[in-house]
Chain A
Amino acid sequence: MSRLDGVLHRLRVLVRGERYADEVARELRFHRDLDELAAMGDSLGNETYYREEVRRMTLTTWLDRIRQDVSYAFRGLRRSPGFTAAVVLTLGLGVGVNGAMFSLLSRLFMLPPSGVERPNELRRVYATFDNEPGQRITIATLQYPQYAAMRDAVDSSIVLGIFIGADSTAMRDGNARVPTMVDYVNPDYFRVLGVRASRGRLFTADENHIESPTPVAVLSDAYWRKAFGADLTVIGRKVRIDRQVVTIVGIAAPDFTGVDVNATDLWLPANTYAGGGGYNDMPWYRAFGASFHVVFRPRTAADEQRVLIAGTNAVRPVNVKGWVYDSTITLTTGPILSALGPGKQSSDMIVANRIVGVVVFVLIIAAANIMNLLLLRTAQRRREIAVRRALGVSRGRLFEQIATEAVILAIGGSVVALAFAFWTGTALRRLILPRVHWPGGVIDGRTTTFVVATSIVVALATAVLPSLEAGRTDLTDSLTSGSRPTGRRTSGSRTTLLVVQTALCVVLLVGAGLFLRSVQNVTSIDLGFDFEDRLFFSAAFDDASAHATELGSAIPEAVQRLRQVDGVIAAAYMDYAPIVGYSVRPVILPGHDKLPQLADGERGPTVGSVSPSYFAAVGVPLLMGRDFTTADSREAASVAIVSQRLAKLYWPNENPLGKCVQLGRDAPCTRIVGVVGDTHRMSIIEKPATQMYLPIAQTTSAPRQIAVHVRPGREVAVTRAADEILRSLVTDPVLIQARRFADVTRRELRPWRLGATLFTALGILALAVAAVGIYSVVAYGVSQRTHEMGVRIALGARRADIVDLVLSEAVRVAAFGAALGIVVSLAMGRLIASLLFGITPANPVVLAAAGLILGVVAAIAALIPAWRASSVNPVNALRAE
C-alpha cells in the first residue's frame, strides 16, 4: 500500500498545483514562526527555492524525462532505418496474423449470438449415448420424437426452443433465384431466445402442430434488406423455398441471425420440414430423420437439473424408428456457444483451432527475430552506451530508454499489424468460415486492443535481454579504442534465438508439407469415374411427382437430341447421379443363402438404373462384355452389368458373363452381360463397394438426371443447348440445373485444401522472417570481423575460402535448428494426425524436405554477407584501426 501512498501523493501534488505550493509555503511559515519563537531566526530557508525543489521532484521532471527519452529514441531509430523497418515489419506481420486469428476466434468462442436476450442464461441440450458398443459419443441434437418426449415431460413453465441449423438452399421470388440459408424452428424458439419481430409477426402456437404444415416464413432483417431491398410490401408475399410455396409473415428484429455462427436468412416452422428421414411409411417426425438442437432458459441451477433428469427419463424409453439408441442415453447441457460445448466440432473448426497454434508459432518466430535485431543493435551501440554510462546515466535510466524505444517500435508495429490483420482477417473469414455471419468488421475495438497490447508486450519482452546486455556493458573495455566485441554471451544468445526460429520454421514447413501431401493423396484417389468435361443436367419442379410421367419420356428424348449437338461425345440418363445418390435392391445369388460380403467393404451392391452409353458419359471403363443397348427393353430378357469387384466376389475365378442373379425372391434370372470398373458410391473416402447396373427401361425407376461428356471447351455451348432442349420438352420447369461432375467432390476436399493453404502461407511467412533473422545475424557477424577477414585475405585466403567460412557457420546453425524442428514436429505430429489423409506425421520425405528448404533459404540468406566479407579490401580493413 505504501507505494500507492507515494503515487497518490504525486497525484495530489499534480492536481492541486499552485495550491499545493501554497500549502508548502504555509508549512514553511509555520516552521519559521516556531523558529522565531525559539529565537533562532538564523536557519531561515528560501521559500521560492523550496517551491522549485518540490516541483522538480514530481511531475515536470518525470514528463521531461519521457520527452527526452522519446526524442532520443526517435533520433536513434531515424539513424538506423533498416533496423527500424525490419523490427516494425516483423512485429507487424507476427502480431497482425495473430490479430486476424483473434478476430476470427473471438467471434466463434467469445461473442454470444447477437440479437438474443441474455444469451449467457441459455443452455443447449446435448445427448450422450453409445454409438456403437464401447464408443460413447456426445452430440448436440435430438431426434424429433426424443424432443417431443422431453417437451411433454418437463415442467410446463420450461420453454424448449428447437432448430435444425441453417442450411443453404434457394429462395425463388418470381424468376429471381436467391441463395438462402434456411432453418426450421418451432414457435418457442423465438420465445426462448427473446427475439421479437421488427415487422409483421413471428410464428404462433398454430404453427406448432407438427402434423399439419403451415407454410409461412420469417425473414432475418439483413436478408430482407439484401434480397428484397427492405421492401415493406414483402409481408404477405408468397415465395418458393425448395418445393413449397410459403407466405412471408414477418421480419425478425435486426441483428438476429440465429443461434449458431452460420447466419440464418429465413425461418420456417418445423412442421414444413420435408427433407429426408422417415421410416417406411412413417412421417419423419415419428422416426429417425431430422436432428434438432434444443435450447432452454433455466431460472436456477436446480431448475436446469430438473429439466435434465425429467428429459433423460423421458428420452430413454423413446423408440426412434430407423435407429437404435442404447438405453443409457443421457441428456446434459452446455453453453449456447456451440464452439464451447462438449459436442464434436466440424472439421473447419478443428482446422481453425490448429491454426491458432500455428499463428502463435509465427509470433514466437517474429519475437525471436526482434530480440535478435535488438541484441545486434545493443552490440553495435556498445561504445555509445559506454560513453553515456561514463557520463553518469544510471542503469535504470538506460533501461527506461530502451523500453521507450521498444514502445515506439511497438506502436509502429501495431499500425502495420492492424493493416495486415485487416487483410488476412478478411481472407481468413472467406477461406475458413465462409458461411458465418460476421456482425462487425475484422478490426473492432477488441481486436485493436489485442493487437496493440500484444505488440507492446512482445516489444517490451524482447527488449529485456538486450537491456540487460546493455547494463552489463563494461566501460573500460568498450571505450578502449580498437577493441572488438568479445561478447561470447551475446553471440551465444543470438545463436540460440536463431536456432529456435529456424526450428519453429521447420515445424510449420513440415505442417505445410503434410497437408499438401494429404491433398495430393485425396485428390489422387481414383473414384472410378473420369471427372473431366462431364456435366449433369436435371429439371426441378415445384411438385416433382406430378411431372414423373412427363419426365419419363422427356428425358430420353432430350438425350436423343443432345447426342446431335456439336461438342457432345456421349450422353445418357439415369435415376441418380453417381456420388450424389444410389439405390439398393434385394439381390439373390442362386446357390447362396447369403450374398458374399467384401472383407472390409460396404454391405450389398448398389443398384444403378442407367440408359445405354451411361458408362461412356461418366467415364467408367467397360472391361468385359457389352454395354446396354436400346434392345434391352422392358420386353427383352432382363440383363445387368456388374462392377469388377462384384464379379470377382460372386464368381471367383469364373467368367461372370452369362451368370445369373435374381432381383428379389422368385424373380427370373437376370443375366450378366458386361463388367465395368469399380466406382465410389458416396464420397471420396469410403470402404470398397460393389455395384450393379440395370437398363433403366427394365426397372421401375424414373429417369431424373442426364449425364453428358463434352469435348473440351464446349461446356458453355452444350449447357445452353441442354437448357433449351429441356425447357422445350417439359412444362413449366422451375429451373434447369447444370452441374460439373468435378464440383461434386470439391466440398469434400475443403478441409485438406484449407489446411494446405493456411500452413503453406504461414510457412512462407515464417520462412521469410527466419531468412531476415539469419541475414541480419550473419551480416552483423561479418561486419564485426572485417579486421579478421582482412588478415585472412592478406595471408592468402581465397574468396571461396571466406565465403565458405561464413556460409558454413550459418548452415551449421540452420542444420541444428532444422534437426530440432524435426524433433518438435515428430512430438507435435499427433495434434494434426486426424486432419491428414494417407500420410503419417512422421513422414521422412516431408521432414527431410522441410529441413532442406530451410537449409537452402538459410544458405541464400547468408550468401550476401558472405560475399561481402570475401570482397573486403585487406589494406582498408587493416588500416581502419
Chain B
Amino acid sequence: MSDTPVSRQDLPLGTLDMLILRTLTLGSLHGYAIAQHIAKLSDGVLRVEQGSLYPALERLLNKGWVTAKWAESPTKRQARYCTITRTGRKQLELKESTYAQVSLAIARVMGKA
C-alpha cells in the first residue's frame, strides 16, 4: 500500500494556523500566495481551501498574530498582504515545539508498532 499515490489531504485541526504563520515568516504575502506556498512545499499534498484559509487568517487577525494591509501586487492588482507580528512569531515557536514533540511521539509509536 505504500505506493498508493498520496491524494489531497485535509489538514489536522490546528496545524493550518501553524502553516500560515510559518509561511508568513518568509515575508508579507497575500492569501493566494500563502495557499500556493503551502501546496508547493508539500508537493501538492496539503491543499488549503479558500473556505478554511480566509477564516483562519481572520482568526489570526483577531488574535493579533497577523496584521493585514491592502497593497498592489506585482500584477498591478490590489491584494491584501498579511504580515506576522511579534506575538505571532512567539505563538509559532510554541506551536512548532508542541508539533515537534507530538510528531516525534507519533513517529515513535508508529515505528514500534
Interface digits, B65-88 against A, CB 8 Å rule (1 contact, 0 not)? 101101001000111100001111
B32–A3 contact, CB under 8 A?
A: no
A5, A32, A34: which contacts B67 (Cβ < 8 A)?
A5
The stretch that binds A, out of B18-26, B55-63, B101-109, is B55-63
Given contacts A2-B65, A5-B67, are A57 and B58 in contact (CB under 8 A)?
A: yes
With A31-B32, A34-B32 as known contacts, state yes or no: A3 contacts B64, CB within 8 Å. yes
Q: Which of B9-17, B46-54, B92-100 forms contacts with chain A?
A: B46-54
Question: Looking at the complex, which one of B35, B62, B64, B79 makes contact with A57 (CB distance below 8 Å)?
Answer: B62
Which of B30, B54, B62, B65 interacts with A10 by CB under 8 Å? B62
Docked-complex contact B50 and A3, CB < 8 angstroms: no
Residues of chain B within 8 A (CB-CB) of A34 are 32
* Complex Cα–Cα for A425 and B107 (A): 72
Interface residue from B47, B50, B55, B62 paired with A9 (Cβ < 8 Å) = B62
Check A43–B49 contact: CB distance below 8 A. yes
Are B78 and A49 in contact, with the CB atoms below 8 A? no
Partner of A4, one of B32, B59, B64, B68: B64
A residues 1-34 touching B (CB-CB < 8 Å): 1-7, 9-10, 23-24, 26-28, 30-34
Q: Does A328 have its Cβ within 8 Å of any Cβ on chain B?
A: no
Question: Are B50 and A26 in contact, with the CB atoms below 8 A?
Answer: no
Q: Closest residue of chain B to A24, judged by CB?
A: B54
Contact of A2 with B31 at beta-carbon distance under 8 Å, contacts A27-B79, A54-B55 already known: no
Q: Is A532 interfacial (CB 8 A cutoff)?
A: no
On chain A, the residues within 8 Å of B55 by CB distance are 50, 53-54, 57
Is A44 in the interface zone, CB < 8 Å from B? Answer: yes
B58 A28 Cβ-Cβ under 8 A: no
Which of chain B's residues have a CB closer than 8 A to the CB of A43?
47, 49-50
Q: Name B33's closest neighbour in chain A (CB-CB).
A: A34
Q: Are B80 and A54 in contact (CB under 8 A)?
A: no
* A1 proximity list for chain B (CB < 8 A): 85-86
Known contacts: A2-B87, A27-B79. The answer to whether A46 contacts B62 by CB under 8 A is no
Interface string of B31-47 (1 = CB under 8 A from A): 11001000000000001
Which residues from A are CB-within-8-Å of B86? 1-2
Tell me, in angstroms, the Cα distance from A23 to B70 when the chains sit together.
Answer: 9
Q: Which A51-71 residues sit within 8 Å CB-CB of chain B? A: 53-54, 57-58
B90 to chain A, nearest CB (A): 9
Give complex CA distance A6, B65 in Å.
7
Contact of A788 with B by CB under 8 A = no
Contacting pair A31 B64 (CB below 8 A): no
Query: Which of A24, A28, A45, A57 is in CB contact (< 8 Å) with B59?
Result: A57
B67's nearest neighbour on chain A, judged by CB, is: A5
Q: Are the C-beta atoms of A30 and B30 separated by less than 8 Å?
A: yes
Contact B32 A35 (CB under 8 A): yes
**B10, chain A: closest CB distance, angstroms:** 13
Query: B62 near A58 (CB under 8 angstroms)?
Result: yes
In the bound complex, CA of A385 to CA of B16 (Å): 33
Contact of A2 among B70, B73, B79, B85 (CB under 8 A): B85
Residue from the set A23, A27, A33, A46 with the largest chain B CB neighbour count within 10 Å = A27
Q: With contacts defined as CB atoms under 8 Å apart, how many contacts are there between chain A and chain B in the complex?
A: 81
Q: In the assembled complex, which residues on chain B have CB atoms less than 8 Å from the CB atom of A3?
A: 64, 87
Neighbouring B residues of A7 by C-beta, 8 Å? 64
Q: Which has the most chain B C-beta neighbours within 10 Å: A3, A24, A32, A43?
A: A43
Question: Is A31 in contact with B50, judged by CB distance below 8 angstroms?
Answer: yes
Least distance between A337 CB and chain B CB atoms (Å): 45
Q: Please tell me if the beta carbons of A9 and B64 are within 8 angstroms of each other in the complex.
A: yes
Do A49 and B65 form a contact, CB below 8 Å, given A3-B87, A30-B78? no
Q: State A508–B65 Cα separation when bound (angstroms).
A: 53
Contacts of A9 on B, CB cut-off 8 Å? 61-62, 64, 67-68
Contact A27 B54 (CB under 8 A): yes
Q: Which residues of chain B are within 8 angstroms of A10 by Cβ–Cβ distance?
A: 62
Q: How far is the CA of A9 from the CA of B62 in the complex (A)?
A: 6
* Measured CA separation A99–B78 after assembly (Å): 58
Given contacts A50-B50, A57-B62, A5 and B31 within 8 Å (CB-CB): no
Give the docked Cα–Cα distance between A9 and B60 (Å). 10
Known: A2-B85, A5-B85, A54-B55. A28 touches B50 (CB 8 A): yes
Q: How far is the CB of B67 from chain A (nearest CB, A)?
A: 5
- A9's nearest neighbour on chain B, judged by CB, is B61
CB pair B51 A45 closer than 8 Å: yes
Chain A positions within 8 Å of B49 at CB level: 43, 45
Distance to closest chain A CB from B40 (angstroms): 11
Chain A residues closer than 8 Å to B68, beta-carbon distance: 9
In the complex, chain B residues whose CB is within 8 Å of the CB of A30: 30-32, 73, 77-80
Q: How near does chain B come to A392, taking the closest CB pair, in angstroms?
A: 16
A27 touches B80 (CB 8 A): yes
How many Å lie between the Cα of A27 and that of B29 in the bound state? Answer: 13
Chain A residues, CB < 8 A from B70: 23
- Which residue of A6, A49, A57 contacts B51 across the interface (Cβ within 8 Å)? A49
Query: What is the CB-to-nearest-CB distance from A33 to chain B, in angstroms, rounded to a whole number?
Result: 8
Task: Report B-chain residues with C-beta under 8 Å of the C-beta of A24.
Answer: 54
In the bound complex, CA of A49 to CA of B51 (Å): 8
With both beta carbons as reference points, the residue of chain B lying nearest to A10 in the complex is identified as: B62
A45-B50 in contact (CB<8A): yes
A58 to B63, CA, bound (A): 11
Question: Within the assembled complex, what's the spacing in Å between the Cα atoms of A9 and B70?
Answer: 14
| Contact partners of A53 in chain B: CB under 8 A | 54-55, 58
Q: For residue B78, which residues in chain A have a CB less than 8 angstroms away from its CB?
A: 26, 30
CB-based contact A23/B51 at 8 Å: no
Cα(A50)–Cα(B52), bound, Å:
9
- In the complex, are the beta carbons of A6 and B64 less than 8 A apart? yes
Given A30-B30, A30-B78, decide whether A50 and B54 contact each other with a Cβ distance below 8 A: yes
B64 touches A2 (CB 8 A): yes
Q: Is the CB of A2 within 8 A of B88?
A: yes
CB-nearest residue of chain B to A54 = B58
A5–B58 alpha-carbon span in the complex (Å): 12
Residue on A with the closest CB to B51?
Answer: A45
Contact A45 B88 (CB under 8 A): no
Query: Smallest CB-CB separation from A37: which chain B residue?
Result: B75
Find B31's partner among A23, A27, A33, A57 (CB 8 Å cutoff).
A27
Q: Once the chains bind, are A5 and B50 in contact (CB under 8 Å)?
A: no
With A and B bound together, what is the CA distance between A34 and B75 in angstroms? Answer: 10
Which residues from chain B contact A49 at a C-beta distance below 8 Å?
Answer: 51
Please name all residues of chain B whose beta carbon is closer than 8 Å to the beta carbon of A2 when the two chains form the complex: 64-65, 85-88
Per the bound structure, the CA–CA distance linking A57 and B85 in Å amounts to 20
C-alpha spacing A31/B36, complex, angstroms: 11
Q: Which residue of A lies closest to B77 (CB)?
A: A30
Complex alpha-carbon distance, A32 and B47, angstroms: 15
- Complex: how many Å from CA A2 to CA B70? 19
CB-defined contacts of A44 to chain B, threshold 8 Å: 50
- Assembled-state Cα–Cα distance A203/B62 (Å): 67
Q: How far, in whole Å, are A560 and B111 apart by their CA atoms in the complex?
A: 125
Of the candidates A4, A5, A45, which one forms a contact with B54 in the assembled complex, judged by CB atoms under 8 Å apart? A45
Q: How far is the CA of A3 from the CA of B64 in the complex (A)?
A: 5
In the assembled complex, how far is the CB of residue B25 from the closest CB belonging to chain A, in whole angstroms? 15
- Complex alpha-carbon distance, A4 and B65, angstroms: 10
- Tell me the nearest residue of chain B to A38, going by C-beta: B36
B59, B64, B78 interface centre (most CB from chain A within 10 Å):
B64
**A31 x B31 contact (CB < 8 A):** yes
CB-defined contacts of A35 to chain B, threshold 8 Å: 32
The 10 closest A-B pairs by CB, nearest first: A6-B64, A45-B50, A2-B87, A2-B85, A5-B64, A2-B64, A45-B51, A53-B55, A9-B61, A34-B32
Q: Known contacts A23-B80, A28-B50, A50-B54; can you find 19 more A-B pairs with CB under 8 A?
A: A2-B64, A2-B65, A2-B88, A6-B61, A6-B65, A26-B78, A27-B31, A27-B54, A31-B31, A34-B32, A35-B32, A44-B50, A45-B51, A50-B50, A54-B54, A54-B58, A57-B55, A57-B62, A58-B58
What are 25 A-to-B residue pairs whose CB atoms are below 8 Å? A3-B64, A3-B87, A4-B64, A5-B64, A6-B64, A9-B61, A9-B62, A9-B67, A23-B70, A27-B30, A30-B79, A31-B31, A31-B32, A32-B50, A33-B77, A34-B32, A43-B47, A43-B50, A46-B51, A50-B51, A53-B55, A54-B55, A57-B58, A57-B62, A58-B62
